[in-house]
Chain A
Amino acid sequence: MATNRSGTAQRPNGAPQTKVCQFKLVLLGESAVGKSSLVLRFVKGQFHEYQESTIGAAFLTQTVCLDDTTVKFEIWDTAGQERYHSLAPMYYRGAQAAIVVYDITNQDTFGRAKNWVKELQRQASPSIVIALAGNKSDLAAKRMVEFEEAQAYADENGLLFMETSAKTAMNVNDIFLAIANKLPKSESAGGAAAGGRRLADGDAPRSSSCCK
């Protein structure tokens, strides 16, 4: 998988033949596990040691190029609504993919991640692709959650699993790529709006990695 990395973080090269599929991807996990940092690393290639709590980012978009398909992720961040257990159900409505993030140096966040997985299995669409990300793998010295434990849990629940580091970029592109590979790319899966219509009228065309 690592060999594919060169293509993952780049914009589509404009090849006319590729099919473009757009998917809504939501991030879940306890506060301060690095959800926003993962996205920032993936979308902009940046990392800030003291990342402010997420302000002003409705969602970011980034594309991943597979062999015959361009997968465009519309990535939703929680905007901090998870902090006091107040995430709105509309957040994961219609999401085709989710990354549930925990911090490998904090056992509690792994417990919370399991709850989020349960919540998604109960509330989200049955075909949702869920990936579990054990973030902050650069802090392995302070590890509190064993790799094997998380892997076993992920296997049991049919989740993709990787340990990631937004700081060193380890596995960040890879986890998005793995999700892109697992998503069904049928014609009908083409738009995030497969459910209903968006009131696009008057909307400026979306640039590929904007945030408002």
Chain B
Amino acid sequence: MDDDLPTDFQVIVVGTGMVESIVAAACSRIRKNVLHMDSSDHYGGLWASYNFDGLQKFIKEVNSDPKKQVQVYNLSEKWYIEKESPELENKDEENKTDDSKSEQVKKVWSQASFATEYRKFNIDMTPKLLFSRGPLVELLISSNIARYAEFRCVTRVLTWLDDRLMPVPCSRADVFATEAVSIVEKRMLMKMLTSIVGYNEEEMNNEFKDWESKTFKEYLEHKGLTPNLIHYVLYAIAGGTNAMPCLEGVKECKKFLMSLGRYGNTPFLWPMYGSGELPQCFCRLCAVFGGVYCLNRPIDKVATKTIDEGKNMITIDSKSKTLNCEHLVIGINECPKELLSTESVESCDISKAVFITNGSIMKSDKEPLTLLRFPPLAEGDNTVTVLEVGPATGSCPKGLFVVYFITNKVKDAETDLKPYAERIFDMSGGDQTEATEKPKCLWSLFCNLKDTSAPVASVAAGVHVCSGPDAGLDFDRAVLQVHSTPPQRLLYVQSDSSGYSVTLCSAT
């Protein structure tokens, strides 16, 4: 069936990660003839989400053939539950005799029950949130791709303060309702937030003009905020550390504040079935406008030559076939080394962990969807971002939660993140039915990911390299990479030397 694949395209996109997929959709939308391929049998590349079975295959692949997934290392999976549920029979009888109460009896999970319900899991390699007024939401709406996807609002933002979890007041109403903040503090806070909303990068107003070389914390202290308020604003809202430069903190805060009130009580949205759905949505738009899709199609060799009038001709050998195109857009994880420029880029690898638990980190009436930002707990640590998603997001079966931890790597994923996980989970592997303060951790996965988020140049004309995921909370870097102008380097800018221009908007 693959043999009837056409061979000549204007644009070939290799890899179905977020950036590649946005570019593919953009090119197809302006009626370029596009082929979009991926070497693996599923969409998403480093941005994919997996069901439990797919995840097991991924883990096996990384462990058995590290060369195949060079971006992932230090991968370690651990179970905290038995292989089989020992009292499975008892359990069944209980349920039969006492149907009405069976809801309250906590299910005893085993590795076998995870395997049976593997399809109900959607576990993300790159979990990310969307700011309600961020560039990705705007792009989804303007390109009409929004109608392929569904979202859930993040219901609460938490922080870690005085050795416990604390909800962060997000909206104006929250601020006034909270008892954690005094009236005087409230007034100070509102005044400061108002001036942050007024911040404008282009015309530096007086408020911030002397703060360029100072930290955000110094600014907050200068505004007379109490330590509690500084904690909320600096760590929970701006997601910063003590060293965060002032203007960066102001920008982050402004982004947070501007996204409030559009869809929910917090500024954030989470895609149903996980972040891995979004590249697929862009791919569908590309296909709808004629893009050809071919998964499971590794490439062997790329050759480029310049034909007359500076036009490029790129040939790609793939499965004993030669494909031709004018532009090759390629994900960094699929790109042959020799095509990459050797100039070194600044990078900081990512430490990640995924936990599956039997309850939320903080009880709530309705199923919560939580963003928690930990301030650094030890000298030299980075801030840790935690996302907790439940069954209503299509991430896991009823009764479970999937919790993601992300930080910039210091030592390795387990050393970096375990101390944080232990604060909010019971990782002892004990009786699941026992009532405990913290939810039980049933399964964990730690891994490090090479930082491939910096833009990389290619050495060949007509070849455009898409970077991989960053450690950030949102998709902004991926979106801006496609929509940025040359100083931030390539991809699909307004117009490049070939007169190529892309604007992915207004589906008319």
Main secondary structure of the interface of A (DSSP, over half): loop
Interface bits B295-330 vs A (CB < 8 Å: 1, else 0): 111000000000000000000000000000000000
Q: Is A144 in the interface zone, CB < 8 Å from B?
A: no
List which A52-68 residues lie within 8 A (CB) of chain B. 53-58
Name the contact of B119 in the complex, choosing from A85, A123, A202 (C-beta under 8 A).
A123
A78 to B292, CA, bound (A): 12
Q: Is B340 in the interface zone, CB < 8 Å from A?
A: no
Shortest A54–chain B CB gap in Å is 8
Residue numbers in A under 8 Å from B1 (CB-CB): 83-85
Count residues on chain B whose CB falls below 8 Å from chain A CBs. 42
A80 to B285, CA, bound (A): 11
Q: How large is the interface on A (under 10, 10 to 19, 20 to 34, 35 or more residues)?
A: 20 to 34
Q: Is A197 in the interface zone, CB < 8 Å from B?
A: yes
A58 to B148, CA, bound (A): 9
Q: Is A91 in the interface zone, CB < 8 Å from B?
A: yes
Q: A85, B296: Cβ atoms under 8 Å?
A: yes
Residue numbers in B under 8 Å from A48 (CB-CB): none
Shortest B381–chain A CB gap in Å is 34
Q: Is B80 in the interface zone, CB < 8 Å from A?
A: no
Name the contact of B144 in the complex, choosing from A58, A79, A84 (C-beta under 8 A).
A58
Among A78, A84, A86, A200, the one with the most B-chain Cβ atoms within 10 Å of its Cβ is A86
Q: B288, A56: Cβ atoms under 8 Å?
A: yes
- Known interface pairs A58-B144, A79-B288, A86-B295; A196-B281 also in contact (CB < 8 Å): no
Name the contact of B284 in the complex, choosing from A55, A79, A200, A203 (C-beta under 8 A).
A79
Among A57, A84, A122, the one with the most B-chain Cβ atoms within 10 Å of its Cβ is A84
Q: B272, A88: Cβ atoms under 8 Å?
A: no
Q: Is B147 in the interface zone, CB < 8 Å from A?
A: yes
A202 to B269, CA, bound (A): 17
Interface bits B244-271 vs A (CB < 8 Å: 1, else 0): 0000000000000000001100000100
Interface bits B358-398 vs A (CB < 8 Å: 1, else 0): 00000000000000000000000000000000000110000
- Known interface pairs A197-B150, A201-B141, A212-B144; A90-B295 also in contact (CB < 8 Å): no
Shortest A80–chain B CB gap in Å is 6
- Known interface pairs A58-B285, A202-B141; A84-B5 also in contact (CB < 8 Å): yes
A86 to B284, CA, bound (A): 11
Shortest B103–chain A CB gap in Å is 19
Q: B293, A81: Cβ atoms under 8 Å?
A: yes
Chain B residue nearest in CB terms to A122? B119
Q: B141, A199: Cβ atoms under 8 Å?
A: yes
A78 to B283, CA, bound (A): 12
Shortest B119–chain A CB gap in Å is 7
Residue numbers in A under 8 Å from B151 (CB-CB): 196-199
Q: Is B289 in the interface zone, CB < 8 Å from A?
A: yes
Q: A198, B263: Cβ atoms under 8 Å?
A: no
- Kindly list the 10 A-B residue pairs having the minimum CB-CB distance in the complex, ordered from nearest: A196-B150, A79-B287, A88-B280, A86-B293, A90-B280, A84-B294, A199-B146, A196-B272, A86-B295, A79-B288
